[in-house]
């Protein structure tokens, strides 16, 4: 992902609230399924880590790999993830063509 696209997505996610929470059970299949559903409907989501705070980067990368998403940014214990919808008609986040 290019840095200008990453900056655009980071700005777009600024006002978003976390929709996926990682608790004491870690990033198990339930969290992965919730993330997949959230990405399917929102494309750009925040994931909040309430536990496993020492492993945020590793868990975020593994969740992103399972959900076929990209980690936009890790801010403290919150991770911004993005997965663009394959169907252009269902896209929620429209990246300006000049950034791509």
42 pLDDT above the threshold of 90: yes
Domains contained in the chain, CATH given: 3-95 (3.30.110.60)
pTM, two decimals, is 0.91
Of 1 and 48, the one with more pLDDT: 48
pLDDT of residue 91: 85
Mean of pLDDT values over 41-62:
92
Are the C-beta atoms of 10 and 2 separated by less than 8 Å? no
Are the C-beta atoms of 9 and 72 separated by less than 8 Å? yes
CA 6 vs CA 12, 40, 47, 88: distances in Å: 10, 19, 17, 20
Mean of pLDDT values over 44-60:
91
pLDDT tens digits for 86-95? 888 888 888 8
């Amino acid at each position: 992902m290019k840095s200008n696209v990453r900056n655009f997505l980071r700005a777009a996610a600024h006002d978003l609230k976390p929709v996926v929470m990682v608790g004491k059970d870690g990033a198990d299949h339930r969290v992965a399924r919730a993330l997949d559903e959230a990405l399917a409907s929102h494309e750009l989501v925040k994931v909040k880590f309430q536990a496993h705070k020492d492993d945020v980067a590793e868990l975020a990368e593994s969740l992103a790999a399972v959900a076929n998403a990209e980690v936009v940014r890790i801010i403290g214990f919150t991770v911004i993830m993005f997965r663009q919808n394959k169907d252009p008609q269902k896209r929620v986040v429209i990246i300006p063509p000049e950034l791509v």
